[in-house]
A and B are shown apart, each in its own frame.
Chain A
């Protein structure tokens, strides 16, 4: 039964990926990409990676999808000619060669497989967490996650700096034409309370079950974007003090707690064992706010109108 399910997922993913790579119509390719993200989320479930499945569905498919659909509708339609048959053939051969080499690597992976799962599980009680993926993210490899949140900030600075100079600090382009269609307006009233609750739940339960600050933050970001699209909230001015504090809160709290670690345990981001879990939850709470706002602002894009 599950083998059948795996084959169906495989075929669906291949068909959608083929469409993304080859279809003529750009919006069609973007929609296929969003669909592929959902199928890949199911593939992640089959690979026993529920945390990754949630991230793939929320970030890889949902938020990226909104960004791409918006871009596809704003960019002029392509005038590109169909590629020459010789180029197609050469590209096909090269791609098949690469895919074949990678397939061989996958089939020849060493046996028994190297793993850090035992190590990760052994030290889990010291962190007070029950979800080993969260333990890797915020305890064992906390520096990676700290730098990742800084990458979010840097990307945001990059996106903001791509706006025209006269609009700096102003409002980004609206996400959807106003007034919003009645069904969208209705959805924008009904869904956000549940969505925000779900996002907070995902971040909270991430300590012991699949979930975490990134998944929860992405769901909350989606709800904020829905409010903007439905016209229930106005695009904020990017120079807003509160907005900027929210964006840097997560990384700032993370770094401060890291410095506390220097005093308490002698190493940056070292959590004293007795209060590891409260510290981790505190970092996650600050992170979820910053991640939600930063992801939303990355989709919203640079300011195009001066602040009013």
Chain B
């Protein structure tokens, strides 16, 4: 089986596992993790499409690859924002601070 097909199936499994975690784990940080799993699976699909688009001299189509690089950085931004919100909410509940 070619790496593209094999890892395409891995991508499908990652999205499935992410959705499962998103439903069964109630803690917000775990939901952020599970959401990132879904994201990782989607990125790998882009990688598979890029690999299938290989031509003479280029191992893969660079356009989907560049999109994934952009996506990884944006996913990090969203994760950082969500995690910061979570930590702030926890601090607020703990200390009962009002601002």
Listed in ascending order, the chain A residues whose CB lies under 8 Å from chain B are 2-3, 6-7, 10, 13-14, 17-18, 20-22, 26, 29-30, 33, 36, 40, 43-44, 46-49, 51-52, 55-56, 59-60, 63-64, 67-68, 71-72, 74-76, 78, 80, 83, 87-88, 90-92, 94-96, 98-100, 102-103, 105-107, 109, 113-118, 120-121, 132-133, 135-137, 140-141, 144-145, 148, 151-152, 154-155, 158-159, 162-166, 212, 214, 295, 298-299, 301-302
Contact = CB atoms under 8 A, between A and B. Distances in A.
Given A102-B45, A121-B57, A298-B76, 7 more contacts: A47-B7, A115-B53, A116-B53, A121-B58, A133-B69, A136-B66, A166-B99
Chain B: interface size category: 35 or more
B80 A155 contact: yes
Interface of B: 1, 3-21, 23-27, 29-30, 32-34, 36-37, 40-41, 43-45, 47-55, 57-63, 65-70, 72-81, 83-88, 90, 94, 97, 99
A290 B49 CA distance: 31
Nearest to A118: B55
B72 A26 contact: no
B12 A164 contact: no
A43 B7 contact: yes
B99 A164 contact: yes
A107 B80 contact: no
A159 B86 CA distance: 11
A14 B13 CA distance: 7
B47 A52 contact: yes
Task: Give the residue among B16, B23, B41, B62 with the most A Cβ atoms within 10 A.
Answer: B62
Contacts of B20: 21-22, 91-92, 95
Given A40-B40, A47-B48, A71 B86 contact: yes
B76 A295 contact: yes
Contacts of B17: 14, 17-18, 20-21, 95, 99
Task: Give the residue among A26, A60, A67, A106 with the most B Cβ atoms within 10 A.
Answer: A106
Contact of B55 (A44, A51, A115): A115
Given A6-B6, A49-B65, A94 B19 contact: yes
Nearest to B90: A75
Given A76-B90, A95-B16, A133-B66, A29 B24 contact: no
B81 A10 contact: no
A109 B29 CA distance: 34
A152 B77 contact: yes
10 contacts: A99-B13, A107-B5, A117-B63, A132-B58, A133-B65, A141-B66, A144-B67, A214-B73, A298-B77, A299-B80
